[in-house]
């Protein structure tokens, strides 16, 4: 059954809203969203990051800050900022190990507040880290604001690809432009023998992108430095575009910039920056 989104209202001052989604959990979607946001900021974009994964909000840990956001006039929330990225997450309002046990209407209300009652200011891009799957939050966001592009993250395993295809179908049914597919954890290079090992297989992301007629945004290797950066609250992209582990994420960010340029108007002063 086709899904037809109702008219959406844009966010004042936000030029591009990008959704990073996946069909299942455990594929590194948040790692991709965080490093994409930091890479865009390093490239000169005014960037925000919204953690829409209410049940598993990992953005505060990965971004290295977890303070309670300040509440200003008219109950407007001031987002935290680190590495040049403004960010907001349920993990900032409900810290620790307490679960969020909410039904659909409460999720919708929370997302509306994060979108419209947060002082995002002027942004070239707001990156939204969606929860895994094709449930309430993804649909609520898609029907609340005009998403300028979606990125689907998958690993190359058949199980991951099967669910990734569902996410692609969801975005296409909602008439959201798909910027492309990212194959995460694509290969592992042994630090001792330097042999390349395809732990989760290889090439499935590119084949899926070709099947759906969308761009392939690249393969991200499985690197300890990426995991270490996320756990330590310092994303690997903070090391700069010349860092070996960071380079694939900067290449991904540039491909997203180029894809947005093809789709329509974008910030002229940063579209031609090369990673």
Q: What is the pLDDT of residue 105?
A: 61
Q: What is the pLDDT of residue 269?
A: 38
Q: What is the pLDDT of residue 273?
A: 38
Surface-to-core class of residue 22, CB atoms within 10 Å of its CB (0-12 exposed, 13-18 middle, 19+ buried): buried
Spatial distance between the Cα atoms of 47 and 16, rounded to a whole number of angstroms: 10
pLDDT in tens for each of the 275 residues of the chain?
455 554 456 788 999 999 999 877 889 999 999 999 999 999 999 999 999 888 788 999 999 999 998 988 888 999 999 999 999 998 888 766 665 555 556 666 778 888 899 999 999 999 999 988 766 777 777 777 888 999 999 988 888 888 888 889 988 888 889 999 999 988 777 777 777 776 666 677 888 889 889 999 999 998 999 999 999 999 999 999 999 999 999 999 999 999 999 887 544 334 433 33
Cβ(107)–Cβ(137) under 8 Å? yes
Every domain of the chain and the residues it spans: 17-263
* Residue 194 in tokens: 């330097």
φ, ψ at 152 (rounded to 5°): -105, 125
Q: What does the H/E/C string look like for 217-242?
A: EEECCCCHHHHHHHHHCCCHHHHCCC
Task: Return the CATH class of domain 17-263.
Answer: alpha beta
């Amino acid at each position: 059954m086709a899904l037809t989104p109702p008219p959406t209202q844009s966010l004042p001052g936000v030029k591009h809203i990008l959704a990073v989604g996946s069909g299942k959990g455990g594929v590194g979607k948040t790692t991709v969203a965080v490093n994409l946001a930091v890479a865009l900021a390093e490239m000169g974009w005014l960037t925000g990051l919204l953690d829409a994964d209410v049940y598993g909000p990992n953005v505060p840990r990965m971004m290295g800050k977890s303070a309670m956001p300040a509440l200003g006039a008219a109950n407007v929330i001031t987002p935290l900022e680190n590495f040049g990225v403004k960010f907001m997450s349920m993990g900032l309002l409900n810290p620790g190990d307490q679960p969020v046990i909410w039904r659909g209407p409460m999720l919708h209300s929370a997302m509306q507040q994060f979108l419209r009652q947060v002082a995002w200011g002027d942004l070239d891009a707001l990156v939204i880290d969606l929860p895994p799957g094709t449930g309430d939050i993804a649909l609520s966001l898609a029907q609340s604001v005009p998403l300028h592009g979606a990125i689907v993250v998958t690993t190359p395993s058949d199980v991951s690809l099967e669910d990734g295809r569902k996410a692609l179908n969801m975005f296409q049914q909602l008439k959201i432009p798909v910027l492309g597919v990212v194959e995460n954890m694509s290969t592992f290079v042994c630090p001792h023998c330097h042999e390349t090992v395809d732990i989760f297989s290889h090439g499935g992301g590119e084949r899926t992108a070709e099947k759906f007629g969308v761009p392939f945004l690249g393969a991200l290797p499985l690197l300890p430095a990426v995991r270490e950066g996320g756990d330590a609250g310092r994303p690997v992209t903070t090391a700069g575009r010349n860092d070996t582990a960071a380079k694939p994420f900067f290449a991904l960010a540039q491909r997203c910039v180029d894809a947005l340029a093809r789709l329509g108007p974008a910030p002229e002063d940063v579209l031609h920056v090369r990673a």
